[in-house]
Amino acid sequence: MSRVEACRPATWLWGILTIVGVSGCAQHHQAAPPAPFVNTAVASFGTIRPSEELAGIVAPYENVAIQSTLSEPADAVNVNEGDFVRRGQPLAQLDTADLAAQLQADVATADSDRANTSHTVYQGSLNISQGSDALRSAQAGVVQAQANLSRDQADLRRDQALYSSGYVSQSALQAMEATVRNDQGALRTANAQVASARSQVQMNGTLGQSGLQQSSVEQSRAQEQVALAQAQQIRVQIGKARIVSPIDGVVVNRNLNIGEYPGNRQIFTLQQVDPIYAVLHGSGQQVAQIFPNATASLTITDLRGPQRLTGRVVGVLNAIAPGSTDFQVKVLVANSEHRLRPGMAVQGLIAIPAMRGVRVPQTAFTDDNHDAILTVQPDGTVKTARVAELGNDGTTSIVSGVAAGTRVVQNGQTSVGDGEKVSFR
């Protein structure tokens, strides 16, 4: 056997191995890559407790500007800016020397008017009594005049009869006639005196009813009350000269020194800071579901190592400027340690009413518009679903547009797209 023939089996075997190797490499390059793995969650029907995040600033519970209507200089100023004061604590004392003198004068006038009232009462009683006596005297005069007239008229009739018989002279008869005329005049005068006395009695009245004397007493008493009112007004002004704090708070502005006149300017500004307000700002959509008494979690970034506090919503205020979208939410916060100061920045997380619906992870949205998520179909392919977010609690959202039981991709901004197969657990 030649060497060539001896090598043919080896050559043939090497060719077979080469073909097999090439065929194996071809099969390795043609195998399909594995489907990408994604984390998924199943949409479920349930409840979330949403919240709304708003930013704002700390504001005082009350801001009190104090002025004085008195034109008196300051004798003492008891506080400085930054001092904490209690309600009723003296802030300053104005001079009251001239007011005290005016008070004494008004009190003296009131005493004089009181004495005059007593005098008027006594004088009125006397006038009423004298009027009644005058009426009785005038009535007695009428009786006497009527008696004299009756007597003289009888004598005249007798003298007329005697004159006819020639027993009485004509001069005597004429004298008697004159006497009767005088008696008639006296009776008229007496009746007039009775009418005058009766009118005077009626005008005087009594001290317990309407009448001239009663009106005089009332006039005197009114003058006394005017004097007393003037004295009381001066007492009130003297009381106002002692300027006190109307609240528990801190003095943030002092604009009065000893010897200065208050004038019309603001002399003190006080702020009540316990409790204190966090005034948060938001749009109409943000505050639409916020109601009084809702719980608010506050983060005060201006404090060292941001502090978290809890407060209560006490009011949702409408936008002040027409057409503005700036709404205010006032949160009441306890501040007994006075750590919070007006003007500090604050972030508030306010609880809004619980919401029920189909829940998905908040990370499932494909973009910041929160209007689409990626769903996993039964064949393992991905499909974009259009949804509307109804609310969220920071981690879970309630949406419409998908049914409970739908499998969704937890990370909606992953690199997979519509129609692509994925693997998941």
Q: Could you read off the pLDDT tens digit of each residue along the chain, which spans 425 residues?
A: 444 344 444 444 444 444 444 444 445 555 567 888 999 999 999 999 888 899 999 999 999 999 999 999 999 999 999 999 999 999 999 999 999 999 999 999 989 988 988 887 878 788 778 888 888 888 898 899 899 989 988 988 988 888 888 888 888 888 888 999 998 999 899 899 888 888 877 777 776 667 777 777 788 888 889 989 999 999 999 999 999 999 999 999 999 999 999 988 999 999 999 999 999 999 888 898 899 999 999 998 888 776 889 999 999 998 877 777 889 999 999 999 888 999 999 999 998 888 899 999 999 999 989 999 999 999 989 999 999 998 888 899 999 999 999 999 999 888 888 989 999 87
What is the pTM for the complete model shown?
0.62
- Residue 132's contacts (CB-CB under 8 Å, 6 or more residues apart) are 201
Strand partners, 22: none
The token pair that represents 308 in the structure block: 């978290």
99-236 and 271-351 share one fold: no
Q: What CATH class does 99-236 carry? A: mainly alpha
The token pair that represents 401 in the structure block: 């547009």
Neighbours of 244 (CB within 10 A): 17
- Residue 214's contacts (CB-CB under 8 Å, 6 or more residues apart) are 124, 205, 206, 207, 208
Neighbours of 143 (CB within 10 A): 12
Q: Which fold has domain 271-351?
A: Elongation Factor Tu (Ef-tu); domain 3 (2.40.30)
| Separation between Cα atoms, residue 27 and residue 23, nearest integer Å | 6
Q: How many residues does the chain have?
A: 425
- Residue 111's contacts (CB-CB under 8 Å, 6 or more residues apart) are none
Q: Which fold has domain 40-49+355-409?
A: 2.40.420
| Separation between Cα atoms, residue 204 and residue 133, nearest integer Å | 13
Domain boundaries, the chain: 40-49+355-409, 99-236, 271-351
Neighbours of 129 (CB within 10 A): 11
